[in-house]
Structure 1
Amino acid sequence: AGIWGPPRTIAAEVLVRPADTGQVASILSICNELDQSVVIHGGLTGVVDGAWAENSDVVLSLERLAGVENIDPVGATLIAGAGTTLATVQDAAAEHGLMFPLDMGARGTATIGGNVATNAGGNRVIRYGMVRSLVLGLEVVLADGTVLSSMNQMIKNNAGYDLKQLFIGTEGTLGVVTRVIVRLLPQPGSRGTALVAIDDFDRVTRFLGYLHGACGGTLSAYEIMWHDYYSYMTQAWPALLPPDSAYYVLVELLGSDPARDGERFITVLDEAQTIGLIDTAVIAKSGAEEDSIWAIRDDVVRLQELKPMFLFDVSLPILSVEAYVKATRDALTEVWPDQQMFVFGHLGDGNIHLAISAGPSSGNARKDVEDLVYRPLGALGGSVSAEHGIGLEKKPYLDWCRSSAEIRVMKALKKTLDPKRILNPGKVFD
C-alpha cells in the first residue's frame, strides 16, 4: 500500500480498473447500494498506508484514467486524467514551453490524482506552494456515483463555494478525483543549482533569509540535509563537498535571464561567504552535476537498506527545528543507544523528514518511536503530517495537532458526502 513500510501483500480480492469517469460513477453507485467499501489506488507512492485494502474491500485503480487531454498554451492550463503520472504532466507542459512546478523524487510513478488527494508538496513549495495552489478545477465522483464536474479553467471564479477544495488533501475519503485542471507557468530561462556547507543552524536560517532578499523571487528550492544523511547518501553518490560539515543545503534558483542569472548566482554565493553566512559552496556546471546534487537529496529509498526504518514527515516553525531535532535524537538515544537518525527536508517551508532506525529489525518499536517523534509537535505548533497525509499510519496522532472542533467538522463533512462510509474506510479518522 505504498513504497515504505514492511513488505506485505494487499489482502483485497477484487480489483476494478475503470477507463473513464462514467465507469467510476457506475462502480461507486453499485458499491454504495451494496454498502461495499472501496479503496482508491493511484501510483502507490504514498508512505502512510493510505492505500491499504483489507480482503473485504474493493480496490478501485485509476491507472487507466491516464493521459493529458488538453493544453491551453495561452491560458496556461492543462487537463489530465487522475491516473497520469506527474512526470507525464511535467513533460507535456515542457513541450509547450511551460512548466508544471510540482516536483518530487517519485515523479515517474506518482499520479496527479494522488498528488491532489494528498495535497502534495515536494521540492518547490517555497516558491510555488502546495498542489492546492496549482489546481484550477476537478472532476470528482461522490460515494453514491454522482459526478461533480467543477472543471474550472479560470484563476478567478468566486461564484459560490469552491467545492474542489473539499477533495484536495482529503485522501479519497470524500470523493474520487477522476480529472484535473492545473495551471502552468512559463518555463524558466535559467536554472542554477548549488550545494552549500554550513556548520551551524543559525546561519542556515539566516542564509535562507538572505537568499529571499538577494535572489529577487527566483529561489525555488532550499533543501537541507543534516550531516548524517549527507554522509550516508554520499557513500553511493559523488560527494561534491566533503562530508565533514554539520549541514548541507541544496539551493535552486529558477530565473528568466540566462545571460546574467549564472553570474548573479555566483555573486550571491560569494557575498554570502564573505559575510560569513556559509562555509563553502559548489555550483553545478552542467545538467549532469545538477542531477547528481539532486540525487543525493532525493534517493530516500536507499535508507530502506537499514532495518527497521521508520520515515517521518513533520512540519514546525523554522526557528524550532534545530532544538526539536536535537531533543528527538537525544530521546531516541536514551532508549536505543545504537539508533540511527537521518534528517533532511524542505527547510524553506518548515517541513523536515526524519528517517529513523531504532529497535529490533522486526519493527516492533514503531509505536514507541512514533510517540517520541510526534509528542513534542503540539506544543511547538507543529504537525504530524506536512505533506504525506494521515492514512492509517498517522491516524492515532491526528488529535495531537488538530483540535476536537476541527475533527468534528471533518467527520461532519464525511457523513454528508459519504454517509455509508464506503470511501477509503478507516483512513484519516474512524
Structure 2
Amino acid sequence: MKLSGFQQWLKDTMGLDASTIGPTIVERAVQRRMAACGRADLGQYWQLLRDSALEQQELIEAVVVPETWFFRDNQAFAALARNYDPLWAATRPAQRLRLLSLPCSTGEEPYTMVMALQDAGFPLERLDVEAIDISERALSKARQGRYGSNSFRGRELEFRERHFEATAEGWQLPKSIRSRVNFSQGNVLDLGFLPGESLYDAIFCRNLLIYFDAQTQLRTVEVLRRLLRPDGLLFVGPSEASLLLSLNFVSAQFPMAFAFRKAPARAVDAPAATASVRAIAAPTQPRAAAPLRKPIAPLRPTPARPAAAAAASVDESLLDQAQTLADNGRLAEALAACRKYLQAHGPSARALYLSGLIDSASGREREAEQHFRKVLYLEPCHEEALMHLALLLETRGDAAGGRVLRTRAERCRGAAAVGRRP
C-alpha cells in the first residue's frame, strides 16, 4: 500500500486535492493515526481505515486544521448586513432570512453573520443560519460558543464587548446569538447533501474550492447554485473570484466582499457543466474543510533583476499589508501601499493585480483596466486578471472583447493542465 492510496481516498471522500496542501501534510496525518491505532505499516492501517467509519472520521480530522476568526474579511459581513437590512425584513413580513455557512469550522463565521445582522438592526427572530462542517471536533467547539484570544484578531474588537461575556474559560456568546445557528456535520460531496433547491438567501463558502481539483470544483459550485435563491448572494474567497466569474456568476458589486449572484439567463453563454476550470492559488497553510486566509492575488514569481530580488523578497510584507488594508475596507491606504511597492521594486504582477482590484472596487474602471492589462503584459496567462478584465469589458458593453479574454483564459488553463501531466 502506498501513500497515494490515502491521498486518493481523501480526494474521493472529501474532495481534498493533496497537491494543494502538499503530500507531506497527508503523510504526517497518516503516520499520526497509525501510531494512535498501533498499526505498524501502511497496509495494516489501510485495512483498518476501510473497515472503520470511526477511523475514517479520525483521518479526516487529522488533515483538517481550523484557521478562522471573528469578522474575518469584514467587508463580506458588511455587505451581508447592507443587503439584508431591517427594510428587507419589513418589506417581506412572511419571509425568514436563511443563511448557510459552509464549511463553518469552529463557528466564528456563522456567529459573525448573526452579530453583523443584529448590529444592523435585523430582527433575529426572523433569522435562521445553517452551519455545516465535515469535522465533528470543530462542530463540538462551535456549539459551546466559547472562544479564546486566537479567535479575536485585528484592532477593531468593539464587537467583543457588545456580544460576549468574559469568563474564566474565555469569551462566551449568549444563547440569544447561539440559538440562531444550527450546527450539523455534513459533506458537500455526498449525493444527499441538503436536498432541495433555492433554500438560502446567502451562502458563505469561502476558501474551500481552492482545495479541490477542477472536476470537484464544478460539482461543488453546482451544489451551491442549486441551494442559492435566484436573488441570493454567494460569498467566496478572493482567490476563488475568477472561478465564479467563469461559471456564470456575476459580481454583486460590493467592494472587496467577493460576493456573487447567479447570472441572468440572457448572460449565460454556455452551460456551466461544460466548463473546465481550476482555482489558481494554492494554499500556504494546511486546511481541508474550513476557511483559510488567502492572498487576494496568487503569489506568482515576477521577473526581477538579481540585485533587486533579495530586497523585493524582504519587502513582500508591504503587499501583505496592502492586502490586509484592502480586506478591511481601507482602499486608499491599500492602493498607496501598492504604489510604494511598485516605486521601490518596479513592475510586479501581484502588486498590479491588487491595484486593479482596488480600483475596480472603488469604481475606477479605466484605471482598473490599465492595471489588469499591465499584469497580462508581465504574465499573459494570469487567469484572474483575464477574467476580471473580461468582466470590465462586458460591463461596459464590449461583449466581443470579453469573449476573447475568456477564450484566452480557457486556452491558458488548458495549456497549464497539459504541463502538469506526468
TM-score category, normalised to shorter length: under 0.3
| TM-score of the two chains, using structure 2 as the length reference | 0.27
Q: Which has the higher strand share?
A: 1
What TM-score results when the alignment is normalised by the length of structure 1?
A: 0.27
Greater RCO, CA 8 A, separation 6+: 1
Higher helix share: 2
